[in-house]
Amino acid sequence: MTDRAPGRWPVDQPVALDEGVHSVDTPDADELYVQRAAEKALHEMVLDSIRHDLEQQPSPLTVLTAARNWCTRITAAAEEIAREKRKAA
């Protein structure tokens, strides 16, 4: 037994963190950028759609009512999806 606990310095055999660790399944920086941009675009489209719906409301009261309805529908969808994922797990 040594006097060093796992994870303590100095290590006997340091590992090179930046070489040889990429596998076929590991996306590169460009793929990650494109994926993030697509996710951001989808997020913006959804929010813009909700904003457009709210802007179409004729009065401040109906804007707030529509916003509450959106929140209720989103929460209901989230609960349903979470329930399905729990069943699948």
| In the predicted structure, residue 87 carries a pLDDT above the cut 60 | yes
Q: Which residue has the higher pLDDT, 55 or 32?
A: 55
Q: Which residue has the higher pLDDT, 84 or 5?
A: 84
Please name which of 49, 69, 52, 50 lies closest in space to residue 61, comparing C-alpha atoms. Answer: 69
Q: In the chain, what are the domain boundaries?
A: 30-88
| Mean of pLDDT over the chain | 85
Look at residue 26 in the predicted model and tell me its pLDDT. 73
When mean pLDDT is compared across 20-29, 57-66, 76-85, the lowest value belongs to 20-29
- Total Cβ atoms within 10 A of residue 67: 14
Look at residue 10 in the predicted model and tell me its pLDDT. 66
Rounded to whole angstroms, the Cα distance separating 84 from 89 reads 9
